[in-house]
DNA sequence: CTTTCATTTCGATAACTAACGAAATGTGCG
DNA sequence: CGCACATTTCGTTAGTTATCGAAATGAAAG
């Protein structure tokens, strides 16, 4: 019950939904997500930790980046079934479409090498 | 997007999930739900207004009671599909089982006539 | 082994939420 | 009409959350 409520809570924040919809395009590092959402890095990191804590996403260290992936084989049946619904939703959302265009333009090598 | 987030937020509160699972048994008035959850009436009324605002439940005035019903034909596809999942979940939850036993014992005529 | 830099953690603040009791609302009955 | 009573609204309080910038962490590269 509390597990389930925690999953719903994770999904109750529009910025976190945007992150999940972005990750459907491709795995992303923190700085790429930050660039798309236009929030402070620490804020994005916190959102990611919440999504990760309930199993919606997972992360992999790669070179100097932490790459976040959509979890396509979740252990929890709640996560599995809700993720499946979410994948089919918001295809017509203008915000999601705009985020995805930005995802295609953004490149961690450009963003982070100063 | 914000609609969807609002639905997830409504579902992110354990007491509100309990209310939805109770309403699967039968429609209930505010005082019956209050008796089962053991919260202040005003708190329960607020939870019900949140569930109603996003279309998960609806209410009907009947005599001196306001009877809340699970919305089994939601207009929103989000509500429809999430409700369907929720109906199949938490069957094994001890809290839900206990609430449902209480629902079967509770009677608005006994509760409210003093 | 020190510098660089992506990320996380910390500390602070403002906004929001759940909870309560009391007051207001509204409905049915005498 | 006016009373009884179920429900909602209001005002308050305590706890939580989203956000930021600064400091800490940790890993790769010179």
Candidates A26, A23, A44; CA nearest to A35 is A44
If DSSP codes are grouped into helix, strand and coil, which group holds residue A80? helix
Domains and CATH numbers, chain A: 2-112 (1.10.10.10)
pLDDT > 80? residue A111? no
**What tokens does A100 get?**
């995805």
Burial B53-86 (b: 16+ CB within 10 A, else e): ebbbbbbeeeeebebbebbeebebebbebbbeeb
Judge whether residue A114 has pLDDT over 70: no
Q: Look-up: residue for tokens 């999953």? A: A7
pLDDT in tens, A10-41: 999 999 999 999 999 999 999 999 999 999 99
Q: Which residues on chain B are in Cβ contact (under 8 Å) with A95?
A: 1
Q: What is the pLDDT of residues B83-107, one digit of tens each?
A: 999 999 999 999 999 999 999 999 8
Q: How confident is the model at residue A49 (pLDDT cuts 50, 70, 90)?
A: very high
**Strands lying side by side in the sheet with A65-70:** A28-29, A65-70, A57-62
B77-84's contacts with Cβ under 8 Å and 24+ in sequence apart are B77/A89, B78/A89, B78/B3, B78/B4, B78/B7, B79/B7, B79/B54, B79/B55, B81/A85, B82/A82, B82/A85, B82/B7, B82/B11, B83/B20, B83/B56
Shortest alpha-carbon distance between residue A112 and chain B (Å): 30
Q: What percent of chain A has pLDDT over 90?
A: 90
Verify if strand C has an atom below 7 Å from the CB of B15.
yes
Nucleic acid strand C: bases within 7 A of protein CB? 5-11, 17-23, 26-29
- Give yes or no for CB of B46 within 7 Å of strand C: yes
| Chain B residues within 8 angstroms (CB to CB) of chain A | 1-2, 4-6, 8-9, 11-14, 17-18, 77-78, 81-82, 85, 89-90, 93, 95-96
**Closest residue, CA to C1' of D20:** A40
User: Is pLDDT above 90 for B110?
Assistant: no
Smallest CA–CA distance, residue B52 to chain A, in Å, is 17
List pLDDT tens digits, range B25-72: 999 999 999 999 999 999 999 999 999 999 999 999 988 899 999 999
Question: Cβ of A63 < 7 Å from strand D?
Answer: yes
- Tokens 């605002």 sit at which residue? B53
E-assigned strand segments in chain B = 28-29, 57-62, 65-70
């Amino acid at each position: 019950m509390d597990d389930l409520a925690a999953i719903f809570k994770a999904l109750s924040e529009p910025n976190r939904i945007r992150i999940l919809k972005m990750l459907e395009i491709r795995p992303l590092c923190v700085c790429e997500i930050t660039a798309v959402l236009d929030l402070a890095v620490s804020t994005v990191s916190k959102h990611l930790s919440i999504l990760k804590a309930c199993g919606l996403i997972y992360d992999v260290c790669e070179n100097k980046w932490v790459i976040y992936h959509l979890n396509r084989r979740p252990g929890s049946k709640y996560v599995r079934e809700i993720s499946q619904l979410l994948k089919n939703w918001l295809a017509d959302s203008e915000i999601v479409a705009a985020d995805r265009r930005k995802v295609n333009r953004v490149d961690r090598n450009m963003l982070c090498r100063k």
